[in-house]
Amino acid sequence: MHELLLFASVPQHQHHELLQQLAGLTAMQPRHALERRLIFKAYRKPGLGASRTGGSQDLQASGDLQRVTKMLNGGMFYTQVVGPVAENDFSPSGPDADVQMSGTEGNSAGSAGAYDYEQQPWRLEFRDVPEAGTRSAVTARVMATAALPCGDVVPAMNAWGYHFVTEYVVEGDMFTYGDIVLFLHRVLHYPSTSLEDKEPRKHLPALSEMSVMEKSGSYVLQASMTVLDGSNQETMKTASRHLFALREKLRSAVKLEMADRLSLDTRAK
């Protein structure tokens, strides 16, 4: 599958206005979304016999996981594991609950609120480097998404040759406009702890403790469209035409542009 993208930076003071404009344009209410995003990085050359060992053994059955395995072995890439979370998953009692989590199992289940790491659904989102060359002014890249088992994904990812790098939370609103998905979002950081860059958190701190990555609170507007058959020039052309039409519509509000290719470079060096 291919993905066509346009991006725009939205200053914080324009955020509310743009939300309303988008709601008007798409004739829908914004769908608020919170996502945990875990970044994984390939740490060994692919194809070194990792495919049949350990945690991935029971995953081999599923068809699209097999496909992903093949894809992931094509090169060294950063890849993301995305888990949708709800607002009330962010418990206000941050550090205490962390301690309890590392303590007895039964205790933590009671006090850690609604969030249950073992039940967290994940999906693996692989994105290739955007295609080189600017024959059309959109960012186009190969993409694939696959569902992962709930709970701890680290063993499975390790088995594929990936180790955990970092994680953050994306907060934003989603709109659908025809065949285009508009996602107005920003990155939230966890309050720093010692655990930070070793493994994904088992517990989420209060949302108010999260800090925005971009200090001025600006948002990113991403207009994306998925094309099933990326080799078909005709569909790709139609898709980018739709994106351009949207860009024209929003021209007076935001400037949607193609992203810097290297900023979306997922290759691990």
Partner 1 sequence: MVRNSSPMSLLPSHTNTRSSLQSQATIISNNLVSVSEHLSDHRDLLSSLVAYPGPDYPGRTQAGILEQLLRTKLDPRVEDWVARGRAAGSGSTPASAFTTSDAASVPAPSALAANDFKPLSDAELAELWAWAPVEANQEARRRNWGGNFTLEEREAGIENVVTGLKRQLEDDEGDEEDEEEEGDGDAEGEDEMEIVGVRRRSGAGTVEFDVAAPHHHKAEPVVPLPEILRYMTTGRMP
Our CB check for partner 1 shows the closer of 53 and 211 to be 211
The only residue of 3, 4, 6, 7 in contact with partner 1, by rule CB under 8 A: 7
Interaction between residue 174 and partner 1 (CB under 8 A): no
The only residue of 26, 136, 166, 226 in contact with partner 1, by rule CB under 8 A: 166
Interaction between residue 39 and partner 1 (CB under 8 A): yes
Nearest Cα residue to 171 out of 89, 263, 252 = 89
Our CB check for partner 1 shows the closer of 112 and 140 to be 140
> Which tokens go with 150?
């709930």
End-to-end CA distance of the chain: 24
Q: How far is the CB of 100 from partner 1 (least distance, A)?
A: 28
Query: What share of residues in the chain are helix, strand, coil (percent, to 5)?
Result: 30, 30, 40
Separation between Cα atoms, residue 3 and residue 226, nearest integer Å:
5
Torsion angle in degrees (nearest 10) through CA of 80, 226, 71, 64: 90
Interaction between residue 131 and partner 1 (CB under 8 A): no
- Scanning 10-18, 22-30, 46-54, 229-237 for contacts with partner 1 by CB under 8 A, the matching segment is 10-18
Our CB check for partner 1 shows the closer of 113 and 255 to be 255
Interaction between residue 92 and partner 1 (CB under 8 A): no
Nearest Cα residue to 170 out of 44, 76, 110, 81 = 81
| HSE (side-chain half, CA atoms, 13 Å) at 44 | 10
Query: Which residues contact partner 1 by CB under 8 A?
Result: 7-9, 11-14, 37, 39, 41, 78, 80, 127, 165-168, 170, 187, 213-218, 220, 251-255, 259-260, 262-266
